[in-house]
């Protein structure tokens, strides 16, 4: 394990921040809609590490699925953990705790967890291969490393919208300037192989928004995120867009959301890796 002097630290900047428009999306996530590829491998006694837990909705679901085990949720941003604790407490869960952590240098001994899970994390970190090596290190022999990330370049929608084309181009430029990789989903297997992981099952999953309610929710949160979140600030401060351009993108989102035939698909890459016993 690295000594304190040798521990690598996060170098990327989290693009989204924790504005209400971001948490509107994060609190919608469940184990069922965001970690289905993992659920069949869970056993009631398991000890789980949930990396990048955010407001804790997936973490709480995992804790409910391992009633004889324990879940530790960690996040790089201390401020979000109070909400995660409130989420767990509101569900009456006692087998879960939360802490601040950097995925590049986890403060846990080798071979600690039965499952190490990360949802929408590696796209935002400075060194995803090093992060996966850390995840492998703290996984018990025979345990699982489970990772899921979206792939922005593979997102698709109907009807065509020049404004959403501008959004996608802008987001990818801002995310990369922040040190992340927005098209992480397609890279997960490659990163896992470079990190020395074996017994890799690679899969994919989607979120799809097409009903009037889904379109209103998805377009509204992205419209608000484009003009009011940390992402908006980083877009302008980094010289990627000005306020007028951001308002135009936000309006394009709202216009798309009004289309009766509107359809949006978010593709995710997934990997489930078994650590050799």
The tokens describing 106, both together, are: 């986890």
Does the global pTM surpass 0.85?
yes
Q: What percent of the chain has pLDDT above 70?
A: 92
When pLDDT is cut at 50, 70 and 90, the band that residue 173 belongs to is very high
pLDDT tens digits, one per residue of 61-112: 999 999 999 999 999 989 999 999 999 999 999 999 999 999 999 999 999 9
Query: What is the 3 state secondary structure string of 200-247?
Result: EEEEEEEEEECCHHHHHHHHHHHHHHHHHCHHHHHHHHCCCCCHHHHH
pLDDT of 20 above 90:
no
Residue 241 confidence (pLDDT) above 70: yes
In the predicted model, is pLDDT for residue 3 greater than 50? Answer: no
Per-chain mean pLDDT for the chain: 93
Q: For the segment 200-229, what is each residue's pLDDT rounded down to a tens digit?
A: 999 999 999 999 999 999 999 999 999 988
Say what the pLDDT of residue 26 is: 80
Q: How confident is the model at residue 10 (pLDDT cuts 50, 70, 90)?
A: low
Six token digits for residue 250: 């936000």
- Give the residue-averaged pLDDT of 146-162: 98
Give the helix, strand, coil percentages of the chain, each rounded to 5.
Answer: 45, 20, 35
Q: Is the pLDDT of residue 6 over 50?
A: no
Dihedral-angle region of residue 276 (phi above 0 means left; psi in -120 to 50 means alpha; beta otherwise):
beta
Share of the chain above pLDDT 90, in %: 88
Q: Give the per-residue pLDDT at 21.
A: 61
- Residue 22 pLDDT: 61
């Amino acid at each position: 394990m690295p000594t304190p002097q040798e521990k690598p630290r996060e170098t990327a900047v989290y693009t989204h921040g924790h504005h209400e428009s971001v948490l509107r999306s994060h609190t919608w996530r469940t184990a069922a809609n965001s970690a289905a590829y993992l659920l069949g491998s869970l056993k009631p006694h398991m000890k789980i590490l949930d990396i990048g837990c955010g407001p804790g909705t997936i973490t709480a679901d995992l804790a409910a699925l391992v009633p004889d085990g324990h879940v530790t949720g960690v996040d790089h941003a201390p401020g979000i953990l109070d909400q995660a604790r409130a989420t767990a407490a509101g569900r009456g869960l006692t087998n879960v705790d939360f802490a601040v952590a950097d995925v590049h240098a986890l403060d846990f001994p080798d071979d600690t967890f039965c499952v190490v899970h990360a949802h929408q994390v590696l796209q935002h970190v400075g060194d995803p291969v090093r992060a996966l090596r850390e995840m492998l290190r703290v996984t018990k022999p025979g345990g699982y490393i489970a990772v899921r990330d979206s792939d922005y370049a593979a997102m698709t929608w109907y009807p065509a919208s020049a404004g959403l084309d501008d959004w996608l181009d802008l987001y990818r430029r801002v995310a990369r300037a922040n040190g992340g990789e927005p098209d992480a989903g397609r890279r997960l297997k490659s990163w896992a192989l470079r990190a020395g992981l074996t017994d890799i099952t690679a899969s994919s999953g989607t979120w799809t928004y097409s009903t009037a309610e889904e379109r209103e929710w998805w377009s509204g949160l992205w419209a608000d995120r484009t003009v009011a979140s940390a992402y908006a600030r980083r877009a302008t401060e980094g010289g990627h867009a000005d306020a007028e351009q951001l308002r135009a993108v936000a309006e394009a989102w709202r216009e798309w959301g009004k289309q009766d035939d509107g359809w949006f698909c978010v593709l995710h890459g997934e990997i489930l890796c078994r650590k050799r016993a």
